[in-house]
Amino acid sequence: MIILFVLVFILVVDLYSFKGIKLLVSGIENNIIKYGIYIFYWLIPLLLLFFLVYFRALAPYERDPAIFKNFSLLGGFFILFYVPKLVFIIFHLADDIMHIGKLLVHKISSYGNIPVSGDVPAISRAKFLTQIGIITAAIPFASILYGMAKGRFNFRISHEKLSFKNLPASFDGFKIIQISDIHIGSFYGHEGQVKKAVELINEQNPDMILFTGDLVNNFAEELNGWVSILKKMHAKYGMYSILGNHDYGDYYDWKDEDEKMNNLERIKQAHRDIGFKLLLNESSEIEVNQEKFTLIGIENWGLPPFPQYGDLKLAMNGVEKSGFKLLMSHDPSHWDAEVIKDTTIDLTLSGHTHGMQFGINIGNKQWSPVKYKYPRWAGLYRENNQYLYVNRGFGYLGFPGRVGMPPEITVIELKSA
């Protein structure tokens, strides 16, 4: 069904786009160049379809990170070529609609014996609009190509200073690094890029590193060879983590429940091998100079269709109400659903959205289509005295790139007000 849908989509888009391409090259007198362009045009969809069928045949082996990477790259190239084609079609279609409108007016005028001077003139703007379309389509093509080649590895440091009245004085200036959504299987073959990111994290001299879930895409096998790289992260007062929705293996058809649980246990063990203390609906006290604050970590809690394994009440059992509390919760929708309604948690750290790996960041202005699904989708949010920070993600999933939404390493400095 997937292949059939893609086939129909490709045929519709390519046939209509080809109509515009023929118009663009109509002035080329050299037939070798003209037909060379035609062959190159149709070679791309043929290759995409071939590799789609080929990789679907390898689906039983998709737990191999190399196979998963190939699936991802295929999706990336599909987006690279067909988003610009859709943009191109809009301009070409606009001219066709105007042309049809003029023909209808001509027919109606002729039918009503309304005098019309001369024949319907040739639509001189047809080629002009098509040329504008191809130039405009080059913008998303270049952006997506850059996002795949460079954007997904262009790690950005985001800085936030947050003041709290109930933060113990010993934590004034306490520096927390937040990373989220590593999706390590997507980095297969790009070990050097991850090593650079780890070095960048360590250069910030963090007091604590907090990882807010999605270590893998689905499988424990993705972590082969990566633990030794990720365990080089270090922080003065330790590293803590939680699970994200992808860590549970819910998006794969397992042989049985035991196989699924074994995969999850191996992922949990990888957290520990990296050096994280994995918090599973529990809390931990962080102590400096005999003063403390409470770090809370819950399992994934998201709005349907995402799973709700998290139990905030269980995690907060025995936690002092008046003390400073920091919560790690993978999905930002949890903040509105339970945190700001029923708790006095001061700061919540989330991820999950990736900023859709596509958007605009200009100064303090940011936009992404993901905002229509997640009102709290990136950056800092505040309700009264409670804060939420949503990290835009370390890695990527599905589309092997980032356009206008670079991978993020967040530095949060706590201040005692």
Let me know whether 252 and 282 are in one domain.
yes
Q: What is the mean pLDDT of the chain?
A: 91
Taking a C-beta distance cutoff of 8 angstroms, is the pair 330, 244 a contact? yes
Quote the CA–CA distance of 64 and 87 in Å, as a whole number. 35
Let me know whether 81 and 214 are in one domain.
no
Chosen domain end from 124, 149, 174:
149
Give the residue numbers spanning the domain of 206.
156-416
| pLDDT given for residue 135 in this prediction | 92
| pLDDT given for residue 94 in this prediction | 79
339-375 per-position pLDDT tens digit: 998 899 999 999 999 999 999 988 788 999 999 999 9
Let me know whether 104 and 186 are in one domain.
no
214-268 per-position pLDDT tens digit: 999 999 999 999 999 999 999 999 999 999 999 999 999 999 999 999 999 999 9
Let me know whether 322 and 360 are in one domain.
yes
| pLDDT given for residue 4 in this prediction | 81
Strand partners, 308: 301
Amino acid making up residue 178:
Q
Chosen domain end from 149, 180, 205:
149
Looking up tokens 């429940």 gives 257
Chosen domain end from 116, 149, 182:
149
Q: What is the three-class DSSP state of 119?
A: coil
* Beta strand segments in 290-338, E: 291-297, 325-328
Let me know whether 206 and 110 are in one domain.
no
Taking a C-beta distance cutoff of 8 angstroms, is the pair 408, 393 a contact? yes
Nearest CA among 140, 187, 81, 175 for reference residue 407: 187
| pLDDT given for residue 113 in this prediction | 55
Quote the CA–CA distance of 220 and 216 in Å, as a whole number. 7
* Over residues 22-44, mean pLDDT: 91
Confidence category of residue 60, pLDDT binned at 50, 70, 90:
low
Let me know whether 65 and 169 are in one domain.
no
Let me know whether 34 and 129 are in one domain.
yes
| pLDDT given for residue 122 in this prediction | 46
| pLDDT given for residue 54 in this prediction | 81
Let me know whether 293 and 190 are in one domain.
yes
* pLDDT at residue 121 tops 50: no
Nearest CA among 75, 95, 81, 89 for reference residue 134: 89
* pLDDT at residue 95 tops 90: no
Let me know whether 61 and 136 are in one domain.
yes
Let me know whether 176 and 317 are in one domain.
yes
